[in-house]
């Protein structure tokens, strides 16, 4: 397998598969694009809180 850089879920820190119904958005607090929040399908469905890597903002 080639080393594809898969995004990592900001909630559970697992790699997000390309066929996963994930969501991606920038932090509502700081909006830093480099700290884009990823949420995998399971975390989205269970509304697991995420944490921004840039400012430490936690939210649903
Ligand atoms: Zn997750
Ligand atoms: Zn932030």
Q: What is the DSSP string of 40-55?
A: -HHHHHTT--EE-TTT
- Quickly tell me which residue has 């649903």 as its tokens: 60
Q: What is the DSSP letter of 20?
A: S
Q: What is the pLDDT of residue 55?
A: 93
- Quickly tell me which residue has 């903002």 as its tokens: 57
Residues near ligand 1 ion, CB 5 Å cutoff: 9, 11-12, 40, 43
pTM of full prediction above 0.85:
no
How many angstroms is it from 12 CA to the middle of ligand 2? 17
Q: What is the pLDDT of residue 40?
A: 94
User: Residue 30: which residues within 8 A CB-CB, separation 6 or more?
Assistant: 52, 54, 55, 57
User: Can you give the pLDDT of all 60 residues of the chain as single tens digits?
Assistant: 556 789 999 999 999 998 999 999 999 999 988 888 999 999 999 999 998 889 999 988
Ligand closest to CA 34: 2
Q: What is the pLDDT of residue 56?
A: 92
């Amino acid at each position: 397998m080639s080393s594809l850089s898969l995004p990592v879920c900001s909630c559970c820190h697992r790699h997000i598969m390309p066929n996963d119904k994930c969501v991606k958005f920038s932090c509502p607090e700081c909006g830093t694009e480099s700290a884009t929040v990823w949420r995998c399908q399971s975390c989205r469905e269970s509304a697991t809180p995420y944490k921004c890597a840039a400012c430490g903002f936690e939210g649903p």
